[in-house]
Structure 1
Amino acid sequence: MTKLPLLKKISELTRSKDGNFAMMAGILVPVLFMAGSFALDTTNTLSMKTRLQNAVDSAALATATRLYKEDNLSIADAKAFAADFLQGQVEEDKSAFSDFSISPAITITKVVDNGRTIWQVAIAVTGTHEATQMARLMGRDKLSVSVAGKSESGSASSQGSISMALVLDQSGSMDWTLDGQKKINVLKTAVFGLVQQFKKVDPKGDYIRLGSVSYNSAVTGKQNITWNIDSVRSFVGNLGATGGTDSTDAFKWGYHKINSPTETTEHNTRTGQEPERIIVFMTDGDNNHYSADTSTKLLCDKAKADGLTVYTVAFAAPDRGKKLLSYCADQPEHYFDAKNSQELIDAFKNIGEQTSEVVSRITQ
């Protein structure tokens, strides 16, 4: 059989006694290492940029809101707060990148528009980390990226109000271990983080009302919607995990509480505003009966028809549970598919950031 020209050339090259193959290998191997090093550096830099952007946006948002809420806060103290907040946001990233550091520039501007005070917070950050060994051999020791974010917080007339109900699964599967932790404990950590976010953007407790309901095969506990959001932290902190799963009555409780005229009255009395009404619906499994899926979907339809915002979070859930939650979210981007513990914590953090923008918004 006649060899193809390319195969013939390769065969001749490998039989050559003239050192051609060794010479080519000597040329190609470093090139391949350089390409792999470049790809790794690029991936790390893109990852760092995404993390820094999230951190900058969160820090700008929190600082602008605090400036509005605290009349006696100086610009110098606000800058210090922004720097500390930003450092806290990127603390976890130190372990992800070698020799990671940030250099922030914080600008705070007070604008008075028709008697209305507006605080503008701009944060620009350059982040650096150590390059791969191959890149360092080529004289490139550090890689860096720059990001910027801006938040604006105004007077009470531009503020928003929130009423939120957490609908939380505490069925038996929440007692299972995932990533070395019981799932119910991960849920508690996620909710604690959400409460802490709300306390940062609304330190006086004038704009956010929060409540929660837990369920397995029935409603197992309720914490009425309240201005004292620490009571929700206490309620969730006492949850255990047992029993089956039926989300119907729990979602119904959350829907009726959030949609109640009481919420309008409470916010009107406190701030003269109409609140944004939000449900956060979470599960890690399937309802025990298909009929519970149907009844929950009907309630979700009502909630969306009434203009409620519905966030849904699947926590390492099977396909049927995920389909239910995806259906119930009022927008596709309000559905979170958390496959592990960190993603559940991140989902609640994301929800906290998005809903906090009702109180103070990102402008850039």
Structure 2
Amino acid sequence: MIAALTLPVMFMAGSFAVDTTNVMSMKTRLQNAVDSAALATATRLLQEENLTPVQAKAFAEKFLDGQIEEDLSAFAGMSVKPTVTVLPETVNNGIVWKVSIAMVGTQTLTPMARMLGKKEQSVNVVGKAESGQAGSQGSFSMALVLDQSGSMGWKLNGVQKISVLKSAVRGLVDQIKAADPKRKYTRIGGASYASSLKGKENLNWNPNKLMGFVNGVTADGGTDSTDAFNWAFQSVISLSEDQLHEQMSGQTPTKFIVFMTDGDNNYNSADTSTMKLCNAAKQKGVEIYSVAFDAPDRGKALLAYCASSSDKFFDAQNSSDLISAFENIGKQTSEVVSRLTQ
């Protein structure tokens, strides 16, 4: 009798927990999507003087579609309804564009919830961004440091980690391409490492070259991040980087390093040498983002140490976390040229 009374309650509680988790996850993903789309649209308006508000809205909607494409199949019965607003504001005789994207996301609840009369749950998110004024465009140089050791060939939820990494980098590259469609303000490259530096794509104006390099990376070998991180450090601080930006935009670029691993360095000495390089990079004004991908404690400790601040360290536990981390890095670094206002 007790079991007959308590089992339905337990099922209801479990169903409620699943629905709550799914809804909160959907809200987080949608918030990231509207933030990214608003920021990319504000940047596009700054760069293309002839872009009309109608064209900007179309760009925002298309960008948003790309951000949520995977989510539509990941959440049960998910649907979205975005509203894009693009308004100009005159500031100091110049135009600042204000972009707002409001979106309602709805997903189907579990069968138990539907039995109780509640079929779906909706959440509301808003992303806002504004452009700088014409002539205030920022520039940056970015180097990725990516782990391609043997453990990146392991499967997580049925998918090789190295494949997830490639998808995550693609999300970051898409953010940069949207922020700099004329390829005038951003230079990006990357290095991959196992027991040593395995390959690299030098910093250049075309992010597609980095994506081509990353797509060709395979998982194999041990782990030592020292040489790859040193390559990234020397690349972003080189005098030639400043000169190239000066010739193209007349600016000194902001310097970024994105450092990622899914494991531990094989030797403690490699941790020490990498930490020294991280310290040197920070002293030179380089901003370091770090991403742990299902990494053990020592690997996470190294990445947390290297990150320029706690909000620049991402502890990705699964594939969606990794993709979200790289999207967030793309969004945050793109704030060099535009900024989120909410």
Normalising by structure 1, we get a TM-score of: 0.84
Say whether residues 1:168 and 2:152 are aligned partners: no
Give me the whole-angstrom Cα distance separating, in 1, the residues matched to 2:131 and 2:50: 16
Which residue, out of 311, 324, 338, partners 1:333?
311
TM-score normalised by the chain length of structure 2:
0.89
Distance in 1, matches of 2:180 and 2:339, equals 13
- C-alpha root-mean-square deviation of aligned residues, in Å? 2.6
CA distance in 2, matches of 1:202, 1:321: 33
- Match of residue 187 from structure 2: 209
Q: Of the candidates 125, 133, 158, which is equivalent to residue 136 of structure 2?
A: 158
Q: Report the counterpart of residue 101 of structure 1 in structure 2.
A: 79
- Larger relative contact order (CA 8 Å, sep ≥ 6): 2
Give the corresponding residue for 1:53: 31
Aligned mates of 1:302, 1:327 — CA distance in 2: 13
Q: CA deviation at 1:136?
A: 4.8
Question: Given the superposition, is the C-alpha separation of residues 65 and 137 from structure 1 closer, same or farther in structure 2, using an over 3 Å criterion?
Answer: same
Q: What is the rounded CA distance, in whole Å, between the counterparts of 2:192 and 2:13 in structure 1? A: 52
Structure 1 unaligned spans of 5+: 1-20
* Unaligned segments of structure 2, at least 5 residues: none
Partner of 1:7: none
Match of residue 205 from structure 2: 227
Within-5 A mapping of 1:238-253: 238-253=216-231
Q: Which has the larger radius of gyration?
A: 1
User: 1:172 touches 1:243 (CA, 8 Å); kept in 2?
Assistant: yes
Contact 2:132–2:337 (CA under 8 A) maintained in structure 1? no
Q: Does residue 1:89 correspond to 2:58, yes or no? A: no
How big is the shift at 1:133?
A: 5.0
- Counterpart-to-counterpart distance in 2, 1:180 and 1:38: 27
Partner of 2:259: 281
Shift of 1:306: 1.9
Secondary structure (helix, strand or coil) at the match of 2:224 reads: coil
* Deviation of the 1:205 alpha carbon: 0.6
Distance 1:72 1:246, change over 3 A: same
Match of 1:261 in 2: 239
2:104 aligned to which of 119, 126, 133: 126
Superimposed CA distance per residue, residues 27-73 of structure 1 (whole angstroms, 9 cap, x where no aligned partner):
x8777766665555544443333222222111211221222222332
Cα distance change, pair 53–215 in 1 and its aligned pair in 2 (3 A)? closer
Give the length in aligned residue pairs.
Answer: 342
Larger mean CA deviation between 281-290 and 162-171 belongs to 281-290
Q: Structure 2: how far apart are the matches of 1:248 and 1:29? A: 55
Q: Is the 8 A contact 1:116 1:154 kept in 2?
A: no
Inter-CA distance 271–169: structure 2 relative to 1 (3 Å threshold) = same
Asked if 1:115 corresponds to 2:93, the answer is: yes
Alignment match, 1:196: 174
- Per-residue deviation, 1:356: 1.3
Maintained 8 Å contact 2:153/2:219 = yes
